Chain A
């Protein structure tokens, strides 16, 4: 039996503590219009969130997280800058029988602020670290920075088309890796692609489409022809330069204490100059974290941390883990500047936030004491 009373009390207490640190308490609907969330997260969210049908409003979703409704509220007319705290249940379907709850409480904090993003990153991390430490738990933090990876991809000496393909899959590590292997020449061109290219060079796209049979569907001849031509061009694109590809592979697997990671990144920056601005931001963040009392000599950094498909983080990412690897992170968060642009209909504001799984925290604290 889950101790829902204890879980709710823990969650509310965490949010109250955030408000004592300067945050404004906000609420969000539990029943949310599904369309925005589906468009943002895609089909994966349908597998993980509870959907229901409202006779008037159409498809609705039980709140899968607070970030989207809080961002929407803020974009609709919040103060600038703003710090918000919240507490309440979120709902996630579990496809396997087990003890992971499908309804659990999250307490969180979000900072919307245009200047000094590294200071905001550090503040969110430090606040969560502090409140977790007050519970007497030795949780293992992990940090990362998706912005460095994105900068490295943008700086590659290859076509925009290839860079876009890599950026689009940055949250799908396997797919990203497969693309990188292909673009760098480490993996041969698949036979199916070779055959497709052979056929595409047999005639003009218009002729080939006409020969293929009756035309159906909304995807137009022009769209098909454009991609056919792009495929032929892409096949003529030379592979990434070997040293540049090697640096990217090295970056993907970088795991080190933060200051050592910084030294490593400074070492490769002359060969991958596009990452320099994001490495500068990484350093500024470490300095801000140090000023907040975090030991950045030992703080773990993993360049690939936070690259999972349901997320929208595009900068600093972090999580806090219990000893048992089967447990989900006790807390997690990150920077999501691009999300506010998507939800802001033309407006955007840099934002960073994090959540604590209150029930898990209460359980671990109970076991500990």
Chain B
């Protein structure tokens, strides 16, 4: 039985159900209201598992689910060397959001990552500590800033209301997901012009770590055919 992990609530769940439904695979909630039980119709050998979107990368990496729908940002953030652990089967075309770096609008001297680096150097000299960037995307942001040769900064963890950290003086800049930029503007922040760290959307992932016995391989081939998805060469073959 192939287990497919899908976000357990909200628009991500609905859009995922729509995407599969449009391709003849019906995913739906079963059981009582608020019960996290799901059912799959239109194909055999596939079981629906409802999970928090944030836990799906970990479940894929552990091989406890065979397939999973989650944000491409979450997989890159939570899984080290992610291509060795999972494969992208199909971008689903929804859940779009950009991971960006934003600074106060009053920073008239800062427009690019280059400027941020120079501002960080001066900030550290003046204040005696590294310029703080609040984020929950530690791996993605650190990799990006290292690649671009930014120094004299530190990441501070912020799991929510990240845009408020600058006003609260717990960070000088933020790195977060935004779709419309409204929350940023409301908090007097502007996006750096060249700091698009990752353009995220919902993606159907396959776990390299799950067991793929012959019957599951066959079911995968059938599912892929029905969904119109080309399996990558690294995927389990029939």
Minimum C-beta distance from A207 to chain B (A):
10
| Pairwise interchain contact A38-B154, C-beta atoms closer than 8 A | yes
Chain A residue, CB-CB nearest to B167: A216
Judged by a CB distance under 8 angstroms, whether B183 is at the interface is no
Judged by a CB distance under 8 angstroms, whether B237 is at the interface is no
| Pairwise interchain contact A213-B81, C-beta atoms closer than 8 A | no
Interface flags, A222-245, vs B, CB<8A=1, else 0: 011011100100000000000000
Chain B contacts with A in 101-152, Cβ cutoff 8 A? 104-109, 111-112, 114-115, 117-119, 121-123, 126-127, 129-131, 138-139, 142-143, 145-146, 148-149, 151-152
Minimum C-beta distance from B79 to chain A (A):
10
Minimum C-beta distance from A230 to chain B (A):
8
| Pairwise interchain contact B112-A193, C-beta atoms closer than 8 A | yes
Partner of B166, one of A175, A178, A217, A221: A217
| Pairwise interchain contact A192-B194, C-beta atoms closer than 8 A | yes
| Pairwise interchain contact B106-A224, C-beta atoms closer than 8 A | yes
| Pairwise interchain contact A217-B80, C-beta atoms closer than 8 A | no
Judged by a CB distance under 8 angstroms, whether A323 is at the interface is no
Judged by a CB distance under 8 angstroms, whether B3 is at the interface is no
Q: Complex: how many Å from CA A174 to CA B105?
A: 29
Number of contact residues on B: which range applies?
Answer: 35 or more
Chain B residue, CB-CB nearest to A208: B108
Judged by a CB distance under 8 angstroms, whether B155 is at the interface is yes
Chain B contacts with A in 153-171, Cβ cutoff 8 A? 153-155, 166-167, 169
| Pairwise interchain contact B108-A200, C-beta atoms closer than 8 A | yes
If A168-B151, A216-B167, A218-B169 touch, whether A46 touches B142 (CB-CB below 8 Å) is yes
Q: Complex: how many Å from CA A228 to CA B155?
A: 25
| Pairwise interchain contact A219-B172, C-beta atoms closer than 8 A | yes
Chain B residue, CB-CB nearest to A229: B109
Q: Complex: how many Å from CA A178 to CA B149?
A: 10
Interface of A (DSSP majority class): helix
Minimum C-beta distance from A286 to chain B (A):
32
Q: Complex: how many Å from CA A209 to CA B109?
A: 9
Partner of A215, one of B104, B149, B152: B104
Chain B residue, CB-CB nearest to A161: B118
Judged by a CB distance under 8 angstroms, whether B30 is at the interface is no
Residues in B whose Cβ lies below 8 Å from that of A96: 80-81, 84
| Pairwise interchain contact B187-A216, C-beta atoms closer than 8 A | yes
Residues in A whose Cβ lies below 8 Å from that of B187: 216
| Pairwise interchain contact B127-A97, C-beta atoms closer than 8 A | no
Judged by a CB distance under 8 angstroms, whether B193 is at the interface is yes
Judged by a CB distance under 8 angstroms, whether A3 is at the interface is no
Partner of A219, one of B84, B112, B123, B130: B123
| Pairwise interchain contact A217-B126, C-beta atoms closer than 8 A | no
Q: Complex: how many Å from CA A108 to CA B12?
A: 54
Chain B residue, CB-CB nearest to A42: B151
Minimum C-beta distance from B207 to chain A (A):
15
Judged by a CB distance under 8 angstroms, whether B188 is at the interface is yes
Partner of B108, one of A44, A192, A195, A199: A199
Partner of B81, one of A97, A178, A214, A228: A97
Residues in A whose Cβ lies below 8 Å from that of B118: 165, 227
Q: Complex: how many Å from CA A214 to CA B106?
A: 7
Partner of B106, one of A95, A165, A209, A231: A209
Of listed A42, A43, A96, A214, residue having the most chain B CB within 10 A: A43
Judged by a CB distance under 8 angstroms, whether A271 is at the interface is no
Residues in A whose Cβ lies below 8 Å from that of B149: 169, 172, 174-175, 178
Judged by a CB distance under 8 angstroms, whether A205 is at the interface is yes
8 contacts between A and B (CB under 8 A): A46-B142, A174-B149, A200-B108, A205-B108, A216-B106, A219-B107, A227-B109, A227-B122
4 more CB-based (< 8 A) A-B contacts, given A47-B142, A224-B109: A46-B138, A169-B149, A212-B108, A219-B172
